Amino acid sequence: MDFKMDFKSIKPDLLRFKPKREELELMGFDSCLFLTKEFDEDSALDFAFPAYFIECDDTNSLKKELRKASKSWIVAVKSNNVSVIREAISRKKVDLIVDSFHVMDYISLKLCAEKNVAVEIPMYRFIHSRGYRRARLIESMINVIKIAKKHSTNLVLSSGAGEFCEMRHIKQLKTFFTYFGADFSRSLENLRAVIRRYYDSEYLLDGLEIVSC
């Protein structure tokens, strides 16, 4: 599917539902990548792009789900098992590790940098936690941000919303994540690159694209 749009300047969010265009615009975004376990290539719109969502905690389930995925699909994996995360990162089909930052270790984050796999930190995690649990999540996030900076691991700082009421304005996301030392502008570039890899006809490789004369 060929989309006639300027992918180089889109401002995408990463979501767990397929929003309406006006919902994205209300929150300061103009596009999104949405996770779905029922992937349909025809569900892509010029502002909402699907990613095949795999959620599992053992390598056999991971391998089974990856066999279902086409090479033309964006693939995102979530797991509470760091060994499964490492296995996912090593697979060519996987583009994103989502909602798993709090269980990722130094080795897995370094491996993401080597394999060009992006790591999501969703704001909804912090919204739905309180007290000690939230403090531990913040501690994990700060550690991930530091390691990511050291190894140039691509972070995606998202709202991670499962419905519209969980979304946060792009300015709020920037303020929150920047406070803890993350580069929000770089985050937008990282998610933009994932989308372009599969949907931008002018995109060849990271840093390499077709230029019209």
Percent of the chain topping pLDDT 90: 85
pTM for the full model?
A: 0.92
Of 3.20.20.140, 1.10.510.10, 3.40.50.10890, 3.40.50.1110, the CATH number of 7-209 is: 3.20.20.140
Confidence of residue 191 (pLDDT cuts 50, 70, 90): very high
Q: How many angstroms separate the CA atoms of 78 and 81, rounded?
A: 9
Over the stretch 141-190, which tens digit does the pLDDT of each residue have?
999 999 999 999 999 999 999 999 999 999 999 999 999 999 999 999 99
pLDDT of 9 strictly over 80: yes
pLDDT of residue 207: 55
Residue of 61 and 204 predicted with greater confidence: 61
The more confidently predicted of residues 116 and 211 is: 116
In this predicted structure, what is the pLDDT of residue 41?
77
Predicted pLDDT of residue 2: 57
184-199 vs 170-179: helix axis angle to the nearest 10?
A: 120
Q: How many alpha carbons fall within 13 Å on the CB side of residue 49?
A: 30
List b or e across 41-73, with b for residues whose CB sees 16 or more CB atoms inside 10 angstroms: eeebbebbbbbbbbbbeeeeebeebbeebeeeb
